[in-house]
Amino acid sequence: MAKREIPMPFRPTRPHKNKSTGQSLDLRKPSGTSTALTWRKGKEIRRRCVGVLECSARSCSFDLQCAPELRRVDLHRQLKKSCLCGEPLRLRECGVEYSLHIFRGGGHFLNSGLHTHPRYTHSLIHRPQQPFQFTENTFRLPILLNEPYNVSDDESKVPEPDSLHNEHELDEESDQFNDTEGEQEQILEDVANDNLDWDALDEQEMRNDPEADG
């Protein structure tokens, strides 16, 4: 039985000209530097899409679209795994080539065409001492921002804190503060009166006894 040749995920290929942009995608050797001023002289990263792993049965209801592994040995192991319906998996090649030029101003992306397969729905991951298992991919939805609006005078204002919103507590705190202030004034007045009393007694003692020390 002849073995099926599985293509390498990121193998070099002949130059390809993009029909939409007219740019040539030469995937034969890397070139450029990320500090270049223009994207044409920037560091070039070249890749080619391997394809997708899918069920070989047309009547499969699971419709798995799995991402192929990059290494050939892992890809062989993936193909030995059966679909959730029990049928064997197959590799559907894509071959879309793309190139990313990284330069000082950012990045410039070139694509040779559209992918021939839908978005990956599952991953077939191999964990140490465990067989390959299907893992469903979770796609993050974009963040939706609320539409801006104008606040008019008729609309409710921002609520104040509870401690400032309770007038009863404010009255009690104000009364308590006034009471404390009154007590302090009374204490100072009493001390002043006591000092006056002591001064009067000292003056009287000095008058009665001229030899007493002041």
Q: Yes or no: say if 78 and 53 are a contact pair by the CB < 8 Å rule.
A: yes
Euclidean distance between CA atoms 85 and 100, whole angstroms: 38
Question: Is 151 a domain residue?
Answer: no
pLDDT of residue 43: 92
Give the dihedral sign, CA 50/56/58/61.
negative
Please give the structure tokens belonging to residue 96: 């879309």
Asked if residue 156 is part of any domain, the answer here is no
Residue 98 structure tokens: 């793309």
Domain-terminating residue out of 136, 155, 181: 136
Question: According to the model, what pLDDT value does residue 139 have?
Answer: 58
Answer whether residue 4 is part of any domain.
Answer: no
CA gap 150, 154 in Å, rounded: 11
Contact status, residue 24 vs residue 17, Cβ threshold 8 Å: yes
In a domain, 149, yes or no: no
Domain count of the chain?
Answer: 2
Smallest CA-to-CA distance from 50 within 21, 79, 18, 30 is with 79
Range of the domain at 180: 166-208
Q: Looking at residue 115, what is its pLDDT?
A: 84
Q: Tell whether 63 is covered by a domain.
A: yes
pLDDT of residue 151: 43
Q: What is the pLDDT of residue 96?
A: 86
Q: Write down the pTM of the prediction.
A: 0.45
β partners of residue 89? 55
Q: 21 with 83, same domain? A: yes
Token readout for 155 is: 């609309």
**Which residues does residue 19 pair with via DSSP β-bridges, in sequence order?**
none
Q: Which letter does DSSP use for residue 39 in this model?
A: G
Contact by Cβ (8 Å): 166, 174: no
pLDDT tens for the 214 residues of the chain, in order: 444 433 334 444 444 444 444 444 444 555 788 899 999 999 998 888 888 999 999 888 888 888 888 888 888 888 888 888 989 999 988 888 888 899 999 999 888 888 888 888 888 877 777 666 787 876 554 555 444 444 444 444 444 444 444 545 545 544 554 555 555 556 556 555 555 555 555 556 556 555 544 4
Q: Are 96 and 48 in contact (CB under 8 A)?
A: yes
Residue with structure tokens 């950012």?
Answer: 106
Q: Which helix (H) or strand (E) holds 114?
A: none
In whole angstroms, what is the distance from residue 193 CA to residue 183 CA?
15
Which pair of structure tokens corresponds to residue 56?
A: 């070989």
Task: Tell whether 142 is covered by a domain.
Answer: no
Report d(CA 28, CA 13) in Å as an integer: 6
Q: Quick one: pLDDT at residue 3?
A: 41
In a domain, 147, yes or no: no
For 117-186, list the strands marked E by DSSP. Answer: 122-125, 133-136
